[in-house]
Structure 1
Amino acid sequence: MMDFDRAQAQLAERAQPPVGQETLPLAALLGRVLATDIQATLNLPPADNSAMDGYALRAADTHQIPITLAVQQRCFAGQTPQALLPGHAIRLFTGSVLPAGADTIVMQEDCHEDETGVTFTATAQVGRHIRRQGEDMRQGDRILAAGTILTPGEIAVLAAQGIDQVAVFPRLKIGILTTGDELVPPGQPLPPAAIYNSNAPMLASLCQGLHTAPVQLRHARDNDHAIQQALSELANECDLVLSVGGASVGEKDLVKPAIEALGGSLDLWRVRMKPGKPVALATLHARTLVCLPGNPVSAFVVFALLVSPLIRGLQGRKQVLPTVRRGILASDRPLGGERDDFIRIQARQPASGLPTLTPHTQQSSGALSSLAWADGLARIPAGTPLQPGTEVDWYALTDWLA
């Protein structure tokens, strides 16, 4: 068996970023991966402006307080202010351009205006409440790097620069093959000894969460020809193929022989992790194929920790391995075994210090309900069991499945 860290690195390194590009408008960019660096075309803010509703003035005009200054002008955002006259103030609003000659803004809450003018009861400070030209983005600077996945924040940056379209990588096409005579699609009558196919919708939604193209789903019965045909079709049509089940050593584990019969090569088989040992990495028709365990919990864990970095790399993302966090194990007994154990946990952040990691009461690979409960996976290294209160690595699902 291969060590977990080595297997994770091998899958991540397997990813070759896409070579093609397409140009899309802002409305179609969510979840796409930027193909080129983006430079700022203008300064933001474009001019010094007010960060508050208030009054622009010269701080020196408030050296004797209280003092009342005449209100020279009322200037809203989008209007051009007059140059400030000595001994005057200009009424501004958030985003209003700072008048020439003004060196400070006083919030409207800190002064009082009536028919005689605006009265200040405290000395103004030079530079207060002013947003300086270019302090957010400066013309010519790189503001977004190639390989960045575009979220609403990045799209706002592009729009603020007046950019209405950018080049992105194509969406990754993934094919998913589930196998097994016992599997029935949800919504169909369930015969005796059969179970519903939870892997297909689970893995399709996991891919969707990573912003891939809609997946191609196939199901094959435990039949050599059916499995070979499905694998071959998916490898010809998709950038990445995930098979589920049938990759272990049982009499009906037919995926591994099918890959070999189709001329594929097996590059990795079995990883020292729990759940998820029967993992295989293969090449078929020049496409990468990952064989996941058939147990849904095992498939979920392997997808999160081993497949998601591969997907991010194939998408052309700059960051393929998210942050591994640290937390305090809050179990009621020692945990650990012969393999690296990735237990389903809920993380709770105390007022100070590291989060507390509480394991689910059922860590069996058959405890499917634990996936709906957990928000992370805590790593219990192989070897000596860890005692409650030990500091461990944990993988937040919000990090690893996005």
Structure 2
Amino acid sequence: MITVEKAFERIVMNAKPLTTERVAVAEASGRVLAAPLAARRSQPGADLSAMDGYAVRSADLTGDMRELSVVRESAAGAPYEHECKAGQAVRIFTGAVVPKGADQVVIQENVEARDGRIFTREAAEPHKNIRAMGIDFLEKQVVLDAGTFLTPKSLGLAASAGHSHLMVHRAPRVAILATGDELADPAKASFAPHETVNSTAPQLMALFRDAGADCSYIGQAGDSLKALQDTIKKAKGADLLITLGGASVGDKDLMQQALAQEGMRLDFWKVAMRPGKPLIFGQIGDMRVLGLPGNPVSAFVCALLFARPLIDQLMGRPAPLPQGVPLPLAADMPANGLRQHYVRARLIGVPGSRALDPAVDQDSSLLTVLAQSDGLIIRAPEAPAAKAGDFVPFLPF
């Protein structure tokens, strides 16, 4: 049995990012940028008006009432190509290029216009109501760093910088296999008392897809070596195989044996943690294998600590071991045992004065407790008893 830190090092830190591919900006959400992205243009590419009004020379705005003659106009996409000279004003619209010579825009509400002239009491204020060239970013400036997890807001920036396609790391292909004669599909019309609904597979598929993985459910295998081996074969071509259940030491826990017969090189089995002790990690060819416990909470905690960071690492986004943030306890906690304990807890109180309320029942089958929790309190091996008000590390999810 190894520590959580050692397990994380072997599972996650030893993994290398997958190969890269070029994808359209509109298809890149949820992927990780493989190289720094430099702008192909400045934004904006010229001084632009921030308001509808008149472009003027600030030097002309002297005295009480200023009178200027209006010469043509500058609109977005149709700039005025000539210079704005002394005593002149150019009608201008939001987003239009500020003409040469002009260095201020007077908004139309502060102008009286008649007979081709404007009258204003606006004071001189150079650069007022003007968006300077390059105020957002400059040509050749790096606008997104390598390792950026791409979201709609970052994709808008990439497109604005002149990029229609991006070089990203390939999304990991994750195959999920559930095992157990007792499992029932949630779509069943009714359930027998001996059945357990397969809740873990859809839960983890959602977790991994949110991380950017390409997930597929390859099926449920019964508790026999042949059924397990036949289903494991369906994972061919995946980067990561996640198995659910059959990882412990019972007579029906055949997952490790089935994986071995399919060529898995075992790295380790069992981690000094709870929930989640019976964790299998190995490799079949180039495919990594994570055998998670069958209890749904144990599987979720292991997926949160190891599988999701592994997906991040494969996508090119370095993933440190989740350490949590220090927050105060709302209730006393007893001393911990020999295994690192991940305790489900709720955040209570008001923003700025939050505290952690650990669930009374930590049974690893209770999905209601998991659903009502905001994260996990991390209790180190042999941690002493803690009092209400003591700060403990908290891992939100």
**By how many angstroms is 1:162 displaced?**
3.5
Q: What corresponds to 1:164 in structure 2?
A: 164
> TM-score of the superposition, structure 2-length normalised?
0.87
Does the C-alpha gap of structure 1 residues 99 and 392 become closer, same or farther in structure 2, counting only changes over 3 Å?
Answer: farther
Does the C-alpha gap of structure 1 residues 107 and 269 become closer, same or farther in structure 2, counting only changes over 3 Å?
Answer: farther
Q: What corresponds to 2:325 in structure 1?
A: 326
Structure 2, unpaired ranges of 5+: none
Does the C-alpha gap of structure 1 residues 267 and 106 become closer, same or farther in structure 2, counting only changes over 3 Å?
Answer: farther
**By how many angstroms is 1:283 displaced?**
1.6
Does the C-alpha gap of structure 1 residues 62 and 34 become closer, same or farther in structure 2, counting only changes over 3 Å?
Answer: same
> TM-score of the superposition, structure 1-length normalised?
0.86
Amino acid at match of 2:168: V
Q: What corresponds to 2:340 in structure 1?
A: 340
Does the C-alpha gap of structure 1 residues 178 and 69 become closer, same or farther in structure 2, counting only changes over 3 Å?
Answer: same
Q: What corresponds to 2:287 in structure 1?
A: 287
CA RMSD of the aligned region, Å?
A: 2.8
Higher mean alpha-carbon deviation, 373-382 vs 219-228, is at 373-382
- Whether 1:26 and 2:25 are equivalent positions in the alignment is yes
- Whether 1:378 and 2:382 are equivalent positions in the alignment is no
SS, match of residue 215 in structure 1? strand
Amino acid at match of 2:124: A
Equivalent runs, 1:239-258 vs 2, <5 Å: 239-258=239-258
Q: What corresponds to 2:186 in structure 1?
A: 186
- 1:106/1:124 contact within 8 Å kept: no
Q: What corresponds to 1:400 in structure 2?
A: none
Q: What corresponds to 1:60 in structure 2?
A: 59
Q: What corresponds to 2:225 in structure 1?
A: 224
- 2:67/2:118 contact within 8 Å kept: yes
- Whether 1:135 and 2:127 are equivalent positions in the alignment is no
**By how many angstroms is 1:307 displaced?**
0.9
Amino acid at match of 2:260: E
Give the whole-Å Cα distance in 2 for the aligned partners of 1:245 and 1:140.
51
Does the C-alpha gap of structure 1 residues 58 and 25 become closer, same or farther in structure 2, counting only changes over 3 Å?
Answer: same
Deviation sequence 1:91-118 (CA, Å, 0-9, x none)? 4333221221122334556x24343624
Does the C-alpha gap of structure 1 residues 162 and 348 become closer, same or farther in structure 2, counting only changes over 3 Å?
Answer: farther
- 2:5/2:321 contact within 8 Å kept: no
Give the whole-Å Cα distance in 1 for the aligned partners of 2:93 and 2:390.
54
Q: What corresponds to 1:238 in structure 2?
A: 238
Q: What corresponds to 2:310 in structure 1?
A: 310
Give the whole-Å Cα distance in 2 for the aligned partners of 1:75 and 1:379.
62
**By how many angstroms is 1:214 displaced?**
3.5
Q: What corresponds to 1:200 in structure 2?
A: 201
**By how many angstroms is 1:196 displaced?**
0.8
Give the whole-Å Cα distance in 2 for the aligned partners of 1:137 and 1:322.
34
- 2:39/2:140 contact within 8 Å kept: yes
Give the whole-Å Cα distance in 2 for the aligned partners of 1:108 and 1:364.
68
- 1:14/1:310 contact within 8 Å kept: no
* Number of matched pairs: 391
SS, match of residue 388 in structure 1? coil
**By how many angstroms is 1:197 displaced?**
0.9
Q: What corresponds to 1:388 in structure 2?
A: 388
- Whether 1:213 and 2:219 are equivalent positions in the alignment is no
Give the whole-Å Cα distance in 2 for the aligned partners of 1:47 and 1:31.
33
Amino acid at match of 1:267: D
- 1:380/1:386 contact within 8 Å kept: no
SS, match of residue 272 in structure 2? strand
Identity of aligned residues (%): 33
- Whether 1:125 and 2:125 are equivalent positions in the alignment is yes
Give the whole-Å Cα distance in 1 for the aligned partners of 2:21 and 2:179.
35
Give the whole-Å Cα distance in 2 for the aligned partners of 1:62 and 1:158.
40
Q: What corresponds to 2:150 in structure 1?
A: 150
Higher mean alpha-carbon deviation, 339-348 vs 211-220, is at 339-348
Q: What corresponds to 1:84 in structure 2?
A: 84
Give the whole-Å Cα distance in 2 for the aligned partners of 1:26 and 1:55.
37
Amino acid at match of 2:304: A
**By how many angstroms is 1:296 displaced?**
0.8
Give the whole-Å Cα distance in 1 for the aligned partners of 2:60 and 2:218.
73
